[in-house]
Structure 1
Amino acid sequence: MSRLLSLLCLCLVGQVLSQDMPFEEYIAQIQACPKECRCPANFPRAVYCDNKGLKSIPNIPPHTWYLYLQNNLIEVLSADALRNATELRWLNLNRNKINTNGVQEGALSAMSHLAHLYMDENLLSSVPNPLPASLEHLRLSHNRISSIPARVFIGLDKLNLLDLQGNKLMDDDVTEVSFKGLTNLVQINLAKNQLSSMPIGLPPSTTQLFLDGNNIEKIPTGFFKDLPNMAFLRLNHNKLGSSGVPKDVFNVSSILDLQLSHNQLTEVPFIPSGLEQLHLDHNNIKTMQDSDNDSVPRLRYLRLDGNTIKPPIPRDVILCFRLLRSIVI
């Protein structure tokens, strides 16, 4: 038995050392674990307080890196409860009842190491402000956000993912200064808002833009000229007609995946030579004869189902897409 205990202790010490935590701090962390939560011995920097019916945040011990508080009834993000948790890297507050007034001043900005903040499915009406400069991922989907405070993202040059899907943002709420400061943003999700125009002021670093489920009717000429890294563009479930898509608007060599499903297109738009996936299903397209797509050698996947186009696709069109591996009609 003593040999088994020795082996167990050695195992735990190894796990502690692998997380760069001195053994004394490990013991203190376990002892300070809130009674409402779980602090697994094999993951000593994590505190699990999810699915507990909590109405407030318990006092979180120092040295916590990962804090899980999702699926509770929390209304206030308290600076006091997190005053010792200055080393947090990951904070999950999804599916609680936090509104904008419930985010106490300094509760977030004091966390100088926080990289991942998840506050999906709360009651926020505005992007929390101020935010820690260390953030890399910010998820605020399915709230009630209709405001992006001025300068809220200034200094957040590490942020590469911003999820604002399923909120109440309108055109006037997304201005040319809304995303100022996000110099390394890669993915922005503005799907399922109330936009009728393409968002302006997107950072040049933007690679993935998700705008599904809005009310967008047209794309301005030259919209992508200041977005040289754009590779994945989703505009499914909007109100785009062919007259609202300028001929060369997608003539951007970086675009790999273009999704225009469930719109009102009557013809195939001009698409870039480097495109690999094209989704045009559920539009009003009748033919591909004059689609002007002779220069699309890399297209591998094409969806045309849900249109009035009838197979077979003309042989010269198929030959144009000589790398095509899958087509859905």
Structure 2
Amino acid sequence: MRLSLLLLLLLPPGPPVAPGMEDPTFPHPGESSQPPPRACPWRCSCPRDDTVDCAGLDLQLFPDNITRAARHLSLQNNQLQELPYNELSRLRGLRTLNLHNNLISSEGLPDEAFESLTQLQHIYVAHNKLSAAPQFLPRSLRVADLAANQVAEVFPLTFGEKPALRSVYLHNNQLSNAGLPPDAFRGSNAIATLSLSSNRLSYLPPSLPASLERLHLQNNLISKVPRGALSRQTQLRELYLQHNLLTDSGLDAATFSKLHSLEYLDLSHNRLASVPAGLPRTLVVLHLGRNHIRQVEAARLRGAKGLRYLLLQHNPLGASGLPARALRPLRGLHTLHLYGNGLDRVPLALPRCLRALVMPHNHVAVLGARDLAATPGLTELNLAYNRLASAHVHHRAFHRLRALRSLDLAGNQLTRLPTGLPAALHTLRLQHNRLRTLEPQLLAGLEQLRELSLAHNRLRVGDIAPGTWHELQALQVLDLSHNELSFVPPDLPEALEELHLQGNRIGSVGPEAFLGTPRLRALFLRANRLHMTSISAEAFLGLPHLRVVDTADNLEQVLVRLPSTVPHRPRRGPEPRGT
């Protein structure tokens, strides 16, 4: 032992070791003998050995020390303008590359940028400044997102010859038909989702993948679907063509007839004058709103026997726009939207299974005894903003609607409540009419009613007969705003939680005003005639759940002491609900 120590002391010293060149096999004094931790780019995080997250750091340069073990690299929300080939080429094992929301241009993206990334499955380059798509993307790709760039050109091998590719997102670019080659998707036979919306396409692109299940083409300039353009898409389930320039001549009887899996078709905001022919029987939702359709022909709907939702709002459908039995072939129809047409009657012979009839902003002036008799299963009826007067609503108009939950008659010319309201109602809207009286017998039996809107009428407290609220045991929301009430109506329903009284003539609130409404949570007294001393201090003592009292815009600033004893200042801000 002493001999060994003596020999070490006699040996000449070796050359000095430069800083940073220490022998890695020997730890420094006080350090562990374990290998040093894996390097992670400065300011980035590496939660796993295969993940590098450099998102949202305002980086202007591509990080230069990313481990080759990285499989998932996130660089979104930075200031990158280019991708250096030499850095990307090292990362041959990458499976996910996220470059969303940078400043990368086509000049900053070399043609060979991705050729070494032979295992890449997901690439996200949305919200950059690409003027052309990359010429070559890896064959291994499954998801490619190039949305929200300035892409005007796609190349055959951008998305072609990618057997695993499932989703392609190219929406919000500048693609015209000239920039999308006929063989753009050749050899990519698994694409299920293709988004080409918000581009400059003038006709439906040919040679689309036969594997498509969802095709987004909305917000383009499409005026024509060429014959056979959709003949191979037998798996297509959703087709979005809204906000284009389609006319009847741009479609033919075979345009949709071979789409044997189609469930959702949106043709709204086009220039169609009639319902398209050849609709498949698998169709569930047909959206034809905002077109030029004047009449619905039964023959055009006969094939779509599975249709459940038909939307025809904002068309020029007039008095003869929906002839009797035009919709009778649609035996399973659930919802019919006719908002904003020119219909003067409820359509006759509606499908018996109809559950929702939505036709506000028409010209309906009469509601006869049998107009709704064919649809006893209705749960929602909206006839708001028509021309209904009380004298022309038959007393048995709602007699058969025993399942009705929601009835909207707002914006008509009613002077009294309709008779025979269904007992199952949960919501009744009668705002913006000409109601002058409330009679108990017309609300009798509405024990399930939860919301009642009577805003913007001509009601006075003296015109509300005693016992009016007696049977409304479930009522939680009552809107009496913008009437002619001079004080809080008495005997309000006990279950009431929200009471709107804004825009009346209320000058005082007595100590017993809310004695019968212990569950009240929100009270709106805005824009009345209240003074500082108008509200009794005892008015709110029995309201332990009260949290909102709006007394703004009265004659004077009114302070209210809530049950918690914290002074409440007048609420400011937007006009509350019901105004």
Give the TM-score range, shorter chain: 0.7 to 0.9
Tell me the equivalent position of 1:237.
Answer: 314
Whether the aligned pair in 1 keeps the contact of 2:338 and 2:359 (CA below 8 Å) is yes
Please say if 1:268 is aligned against 2:346.
yes
- Range with greater deviation from structure 2 (53-62 or 27-36): 27-36
Q: Cα–Cα, structure 1 residues 118 and 11, in superposed 2: closer, same or farther, change >3 Å?
A: closer
In 2 relative to 1, CA 62–222 (structure 1 residues): closer, same or farther, beyond 3 Å?
Answer: closer
Q: Is the 8 A contact 2:244 2:270 kept in 1?
A: yes
Q: Which letter does structure 2 place at the counterpart of 1:263?
A: N
Query: Aligned AA for 2:130?
Result: L
CA separation in 1, counterparts of 2:132 and 2:98? 12
Aligned partner (choices 102, 107, 123) of residue 47 of structure 1: 123
What is the match of residue 283 of structure 1?
362
What amino acid does structure 1 have at the position aligned with 2:233? L
Of 402, 424, 428, the match for 1:322: 402
Aligned to 1:174: 251
CA displacement, residues 262-321 of structure 1 (integer Å, 9 cap, x when unaligned): 000000012211111111100000121155321322111111111111469544222311
Aligned CA distance change for structure 1 residues 163 and 83 (closer, same or farther; 3 Å): closer
SS at match of 2:178: helix
The alignment partner of 1:80 has SS state of helix
Partner of residue 48, structure 2: 8
- Which residue of the other structure, out of 334, 352, 377, is the alignment partner of 1:298? 377
- Please name the residue that 2:292 is paired with: 215
Instruction: Specify the alignment match of 2:323 in structure 1.
Output: 246
- If the length of structure 2 is used for normalisation, what is the TM-score? 0.51
Counterpart amino acid of 1:189?
Answer: D
Distance in structure 2 (CA, Å) of the matches to 1:248 and 1:55 = 53
Structure-2 change in CA distance of 1:50 and 1:7 (3 Å): closer
Tell me the residue number matched to 1:202: 279
Letter in 2 for 1:46: H
Cα 1:272–1:187, aligned 2, differ >3 Å: closer, same or farther? same
Show the counterpart of 2:175: 98
Contact kept in structure 1, 2:160 and 2:186, CA below 8 Å: no
Give the distance between the partners of 1:98 and 1:287, measured in 2 at CA. 51
Judge conservation of contact 1:215–1:238 (CA < 8 Å) in 2: yes
Structure 2, unmatched stretches of 5+, are 1-33, 39-45, 53-68, 73-90, 115-119, 410-579
Q: Distance in 1 between matches of 2:370 and 2:170?
A: 48
* Secondary structure in 2 matching 1:101: helix
How far apart are the structure 2 equivalents of 1:214 and 1:96? 26
- Specify whether residues 303 and 29 from structure 1 end up closer, same or farther in structure 2 by C-alpha distance, changes over 3 A only: farther
C-alpha change, 1:28 and 1:263, in structure 2 (3 Å) is same
Quote the Cα distance in structure 2 between the aligned partners of 1:32 and 1:118: 20
Whole-angstrom CA distance in 2 between matches of 1:277 and 1:2: 69
How much has 1:192 moved relative to structure 2?
A: 0.7
Partner of 1:111: 188
Q: 1:209 aligns to what SS in structure 2?
A: strand
CA change 1:318–1:62 in 2 (3 A) is same
Q: 1:32 to 1:258 in 2, by over 3 A?
A: closer
Counterpart pick for 1:57 among 102, 108, 133: 133
Q: How far apart, CA to CA, are the structure 1 residues paired with 2:214 and 2:71?
A: 28
Is 135-144 or 311-320 further displaced after alignment? 311-320
Larger RCO (CA within 8 A; separation ≥ 6): 1
Query: Which of the pair is proportionally richer in helix?
Result: 1
Equivalenced residues, count: 314
Helix, strand or coil at the partner of 2:398: helix
Partner Cα distance (2:299, 2:397) in 1: 27
Q: 1:160 to 1:169 in 2, by over 3 A?
A: same
Contact residue 34 and residue 60 of structure 1 kept, 8 A: no
Q: Which moved more, 1:194-203 or 1:25-34?
A: 25-34
Change over 3 Å in CA distance of 1:185–1:320 after alignment to 2: same
Q: Give the structure with higher Rg (CA).
A: 2
Match of 1:18 in 2: none
Q: Taking every aligned residue pair, what percent have the same amino acid on both sides?
A: 26
Q: Deviations over 1:79-106 (max 9, x none)?
A: 1333464421111111100001111121
Contact 1:61 1:84 in 2 (8 A): no
CA distance in 2, matches of 1:31, 1:295: 58
2:94 is matched with 30
Cα 1:118/1:32, change in 2 over 3 Å: closer
C-alpha displacement of 1:194: 0.6
Task: Say which is worse superposed, 164-173 or 282-291, in terms of deviation.
Answer: 282-291
SS in 2 for 1:172: helix
Does the 8 Å contact 1:267/1:291 carry over to 2? no
| Alpha-carbon distance in 2 for matches of 1:9, 1:315 | 75
| Counterpart-to-counterpart distance in 1, 2:195 and 2:141 | 16
Distance 1:32 1:272 in 2: 51
Where structure 1 has 5 or more consecutive residues not aligned to the other structure, the ranges are: 13-22
Q: Equivalents in 2 of 1:211, 1:31: separation in Å?
A: 42
Q: Which amino acid aligns with 1:302?
A: L
Q: Which amino acid is the alignment partner of residue 265 of structure 1?
A: L
Residue 198 of structure 1 and its aligned partner are, at CA, apart by 1.3
Mapped contact 1:120–1:143 kept (Cα < 8 A): yes
AA partner of residue 385 (structure 2)? G
- Please tell me the root mean square deviation across aligned C-alpha atoms, in Å: 2.8
Identify the range of structure 1 (196-205 vs 264-273) with the bigger mean alpha-carbon deviation. 196-205
Secondary structure in 1 matching 2:239 = strand
Q: Could you say what secondary structure the match of 2:381 adopts? A: strand
- Contact 2:155–2:180 at 8 Å: present in 1 too? yes
Q: 1:300 to 1:311 in 2, by over 3 A?
A: farther
Given that residues 29 and 63 in structure 1 are in contact (C-alpha distance below 8 angstroms), is that contact kept between their aligned partners in structure 2? no
TM normalised by structure 1 equals 0.87
